[in-house]
Amino acid sequence: MKIAVVTPYFPTAAEPNRGHSAYQTLRFLKNQADVEVICPLASYPRAKFLLPRGFRYHRPDPNYRPPDVKATYFEYPAVPLLSRPLNGLVCAHLLKPYLTAIRPDVILNYWLYPEGFSATRVARQLGIPTIVGAIGSDLRLPGDAITFRMTGRTLENADAILTVSEELRQCAIRRGVPPGKVTTILNGCDFSIFHPGDRAAARCKLGIAPDAELVVYVGRISQLKGSAELTGATIALSAGHTRLQVAMIGEGAYKSELEARAAAAGIRDRFLFPGLLSSVQIAEWMAAADVFCLPSYSEGCPNVVVEAIACGRPVVATNVGGIPELVDESCGTLVPPRDTRSLAEGLERVLAASWDAARISTHLGRGWDTVAEDTYQLCARVIREYRKKRAAA
């Protein structure tokens, strides 16, 4: 089976951790099929006033090759807002030669618009079935009327829809997609990296006090990820929890505002910013943690939650997207989004409770090899059904 994967959700030279779930799935899928990735990336003008606020554009390195997966990168021209109705068509025009050369049995996509739209358009021209994958905000939060409409056309034109949570599957169904056309494949975890570790040894290595109450967050430091609520919750708890510390792993524009708020409250020293880290380094911080926290406003199937659970750490997260499919009372607690008080109460409950790391680590137990197998079976089914339909026609 030859599978062409069309996605911008994939590692680049500037962002090697980008598209983590897609990359991990394809690393294992290539053991079962001939997999080739085509990664279209929007090329924006260099003028700062034309770029969205806080947006940082990195020109992709066409010679970059992530380990283990064959990938080709190309750019298509775009202007924020102005070119949005045409991005799918422009991307499709440049994508077609790549897919014509590969001539795959099926096209698999992650991220609906414009790349999923482009994949379905070229697939129809070449007579190839397509599976478009929704990973979260691309389906739930399209952002504007144009993207919403184009996303609908993408869902309609695809032969199958892949979602990373049942909540996203129901979202697609509410948009008019027949239930039988949508398949949920939850994300997995690399258990060779993420597993219960020695908390004392990890803290010694990272310079964390043995008696600290350490909360770890991993992700972009932004308001949409709940950074403001986590800051407010930490301020609210600081008087009663004098040993409380929060490690915010990642980067983002909200960091400076967060630091200012913490400094104004006199607790700037409670916050640690390790920056962007590798999976191995993140696992070390999770081993050192008392609790993992993800207070996002919107999520699909967040890998960091799966990885924290695999490390045996209890989770405090918001009850959004696919998170309730991952977290229950046996491994943490859920709180409403945008609610600082509830988040503080949730953190306090989890910090006060006793948790069995070994038991938590077995809560999910889903590896990337299983995700790849499920994806392979979906591709095989779509190919069979497409060929049967063509033969009947």
Confidence category of residue 365, pLDDT binned at 50, 70, 90? confident
Whether 289 and 184 share a structural domain:
no
Residue pLDDT, tens place only, 170-217: 999 999 999 999 999 999 999 999 999 999 999 999 999 999 999 999
Residue 54 sits in a domain whose CATH number is: 3.40.50.2000
Domain limits for position 179: 2-188+368-392
Whether 287 and 377 share a structural domain:
no
Residue at 274 is within a domain = yes
CB 365 within 8 A of CB 194: no
Classify 364 in phi/psi space as left (phi over 0), alpha (psi -120 to 50) or beta: alpha
Whether 243 and 266 share a structural domain:
yes
Residue at 51 is within a domain = yes
Mean pLDDT calculated for residue range 309-336: 97
Which amino acid is it at 268? R
Which stretch of DSSP H or E encloses residue 61?
none
First to last CA, the chain: 23
Whether 78 and 112 share a structural domain:
yes
Whether 28 shows a pLDDT value over 60: the answer reads: yes
Whether 183 and 47 share a structural domain:
yes
Whether 374 and 354 share a structural domain:
no
Whether 135 and 265 share a structural domain:
no
Whether 49 shows a pLDDT value over 70: the answer reads: no
Residue pLDDT, tens place only, 84-118: 999 999 999 999 999 999 999 999 999 999 999 99
Whether 373 and 357 share a structural domain:
no
Residue at 245 is within a domain = yes
Whether 357 and 373 share a structural domain:
no
CB 247 within 8 A of CB 272: yes
Burial letters 24-49, b for 16+ CB under 10 A, else e: bbbbbbbebbebbbbbbbbebeeeee
Which amino acid is it at 255? K
Residue at 357 is within a domain = yes
Residue at 41 is within a domain = yes
Whether 298 and 324 share a structural domain:
yes
Spatial distance between the Cα atoms of 136 and 155, rounded to a whole number of angstroms: 14
Residue at 193 is within a domain = no
Whether 346 and 372 share a structural domain:
no
Residue at 194 is within a domain = no
Whether 90 and 109 share a structural domain:
yes
What is the number of domains present in the chain? 2
Handedness of CA 353, 357, 359, 360 (dihedral sign): positive
Q: Is the pTM of this model over 0.75?
A: yes
Residue pLDDT, tens place only, 303-321: 999 999 999 999 999 999 9
